[in-house]
Copies of this chain bind each other. A is one copy, B any other.
Amino acid sequence: MARACRLVDDRVDGYLDLLKELFPHTGHAWIVGVTGNPGAGKSTVTDRLVELWRAQGKRVGVIAIDPTSPFSGGAILGDRIRMQRHFEDPDVFIRSLATRGALGGLSRSAVDVMRVLDAWGADVVVVETVGVGQDEMEVTRTAHSTLIVAAPGLGDDVQAAKAGILECGDVFSVNKADRDGADATMRDLELMVALGRRVVGGGQLTSVGSHSGAAMRRETGGVDSAGAWVPPIVRCIATQNQGIDETERWLEEHRKWVMDTQAGQERRHLRLREQMENEMRNALVDAAVRDIGNQLEEAIGSVSRRETDPYTACERLVAAFRKG
């Protein structure tokens, strides 16, 4: 497994053949995105979720993209030691993509490694990211279910995530819920979810509040009467293992919605489309670098001497590459 991941990650000769061969064995895994600002505690939440899934006998893969994640070897030593038990579990496979650098190919590698873990027989693949930026958004949007971990008192983190959070979050967890500001963070998230529903025109909630843990929960989530998913918001204290079982049950409920309903199917198809568009884009660029790499060099020289404007230069490059 480690070798297959490395092959795919480093794009060693033959990696595409391997991925093609593995593809028929994929399609089983449930991909769960876990996203949140550094310091929100998403690694601790993930750690606890992995524990729950393992207790259910599920095989789990973890792809950590955040370089500060203890799963990537970052963060404080205590966390790393606690998560060590997962590293030693043969039914948990952890792969860090943190070292690949910021530019180019992060989302591509993540998708490829997801497929490797899927073919390995993972029941759940967790993809842990800091949820800001296009590349990360692309990764998050490949997930079937996305958990957003927020925490009070982390600057404007809710606001910062706002742009992407509404579309991407399926379950929200307000971690460190015993801290000052937890109520404000809950209110912010509730408002955002309500606004998002009004924008897309949601129906009435039907399966709200089906879970226990009333003291930690508000009745905000589930499938509404129009069949749409309304993100629940769960209070957590991950370090004390509070609210994690409820988070897991909501995620599971969302999994059923994605896998079994018409609306869920449509969403999966939409995500597949995005993914294919990304993959085509990457394949195009690879081919263009092979075919017209020399002309690109000339174009750069010409633009830097200000003989050509970059827009005209790009049009010429595309014309040199395309058939039509």
* A10 CB within 8 Å of chain B: no
Decide if the interface of chain A is mainly helix, strand, loop or mixed.
helix
Q: Which residues of B contact A314 (CB under 8 A)?
A: 276, 279-280, 282-283
Query: With A269-B304, A284-B285 known to touch, is A132 a contact of B133 (CB < 8 Å)?
Result: yes
| A226–B27 alpha-carbon span in the complex (Å) | 54
Interface-forming stretch among A82-90, A97-105, A234-242, A250-258? A97-105
Can you list, as one digit per residue, whether each of A52-81 has a CB less than 8 Å from chain B (1) or not (0)?
Answer: 000000000000001110000011000000
Complex CA–CA separation, A134 to B135 (angstroms): 5
Number of interface residues of A (CB under 8 A): 77
A194 CB–B CB distance under 8 Å: no
Q: What copy number does this chain have within its complex?
A: 2
Complex Cα distance, B288 from A303, in Å, reads 24
* Interchain CB contact under 8 A, B20 and A159: no
Kindly supply a per-residue 1/0 record for chain A positions 117-157, scoring 1 wherever the CB is within 8 Å of any chain B CB and 0 otherwise.
00000000000001011111110010000000000001111
Known: A269-B304, A279-B310, A280-B317. A323 touches B137 (CB 8 A): no
Q: Does A281 contact B (CB under 8 A)?
A: yes
Min CB–CB distance A140 → chain B (angstroms): 10
Instruction: Please encode chain A, from 293 to 324, with 1 for each CB lying within 8 Å of some chain B CB and 0 for all others.
Output: 00010011001101001111111011011111
Chain B's nearest CB lies how many Å from the CB of A124?
21
Whether a CB of chain B sits under 8 angstroms from the CB of A162 is yes
* Distance between A208 CB and nearest chain B CB, rounded to angstroms: 29
Within 8 A of B (CB), among A260-298: 269, 272-273, 275-277, 279-285, 287-288, 291, 296
Contact A322 B157 (CB under 8 A): no
Is the beta-carbon distance between B67 and A162 smaller than 8 angstroms? yes
A163 at the interface (CB under 8 A from B): yes
Residue of B whose beta carbon sits closest to that of A312: B20
Binding site for B on A (CB under 8 A): 16, 19-20, 23-24, 27, 37-40, 66-68, 74-75, 98, 101-104, 106-107, 130, 132-138, 141, 154-157, 159-160, 162-164, 167, 269, 272-273, 275-277, 279-285, 287-288, 291, 296, 299-300, 303-304, 306, 309-315, 317-318, 320-324
23 sample A-B contacts, Cβ–Cβ < 8 Å, listed by A number? A20-B311, A38-B156, A38-B157, A38-B160, A39-B154, A67-B163, A68-B159, A102-B133, A103-B138, A130-B160, A132-B136, A133-B133, A133-B134, A272-B300, A272-B303, A276-B314, A280-B288, A280-B299, A281-B285, A284-B317, A291-B323, A322-B323, A323-B323
